[in-house]
Structure 1
């Protein structure tokens, strides 16, 4: 695979996702970091977005609920380089009927090299990073080069 460098914008496009038992924890985390998060563009799955709004006053743009395709919509936005960070508080102790969607979302975030936080501690480190409010260069797959090479 060939790679290229692109610039993350200073105003990040952040996806917020949480499993059912983690939604109140994410809402509390968002309330704690409301001032910093308000400077960025927020996206979420449907139910999570409602709970974040009620718990923090932030109003993320909402996709469908996760089990109804919201996880996949977020994954598509990541692949299209329309999201810059994923905050996904997942519950490792609960079985999820849409577990393949969750794994696909985490995989696509890794493929496109965006920062991911899966719990409040890692989210705290991301939100405290000086890169949060700055543009920075990072490496992503060069899909055009991949297509060209594949068709040779």
Structure 2
């Protein structure tokens, strides 16, 4: 499965902690992320992370395009709701995930539910959405 990681700057440390805690699950899948988030996660966990541009330079839109082409199976987008700077980005990704039936978490509680489901195989139905998929690559 292809898992996309994004987060508000104030949630980067939480994303790193989350990925460190669930490194064993994530290591069985392909991880991609916006630039700064991906670098921090890769450095902390040793996981290979496919890097997109930073969110300021179009990384959110790059991930959005991968969602449209059914190349992303799960999105973890840790939002900071007290800051409205990323509201448009969160809504853009949320709408795409809703339209293309891609599970999305915007907080650590929901992310834990998704990651446990991923580990149990509850999200294997996503494989049927694109059975000819090759491993994700930039």
TM-score between the two structures when normalised by the length of structure 1? 0.77
Alignment match, 1:43? 32
Question: What's the CA shift string for 1:94-148, capped at 9, x where partnerless?
Answer: 121x53233211111111011111111111111111225x6316998xxxxxxxx
Alignment match, 2:7? 18
- Judge conservation of contact 2:77–2:90 (CA < 8 Å) in 1: no
- Judge conservation of contact 1:17–1:45 (CA < 8 Å) in 2: yes
SS at 1:99's partner residue? helix
Matched, 1:78 2:67: yes
CA 1:91 to 1:136, structure 2 compared with 1: closer, same or farther past 3 Å? same
Q: Over aligned residue pairs, what C-alpha RMSD do you find?
A: 1.9
Give structure 1 stretches of 5+ with no counterpart. Answer: 1-11, 141-152
Match of 2:105 among 117, 129, 149: 117
Give structure 2 stretches of 5+ with no counterpart. Answer: 130-138
Alignment match, 1:131? 121
Query: Higher Cα Rg: structure 1 or 2?
Result: 1
TM-score between the two structures when normalised by the length of structure 2? 0.84
Question: What's the CA shift string for 1:42-95, capped at 9, x where partnerless?
Answer: 010011101111222222101000121000000000000011000110111112
| CA distance, structure 2, for counterparts of residue 55 and residue 90 of structure 1 | 20
SS at 2:53's partner residue? coil
With CA pairs under 8 Å and 6+ residues apart, which has the higher RCO, 1 or 2? 1
Higher helix share: 2
| CA distance, structure 1, for counterparts of residue 127 and residue 23 of structure 2 | 26
Alignment match, 2:135? none
| CA distance, structure 1, for counterparts of residue 127 and residue 38 of structure 2 | 28
Higher strand share: 1
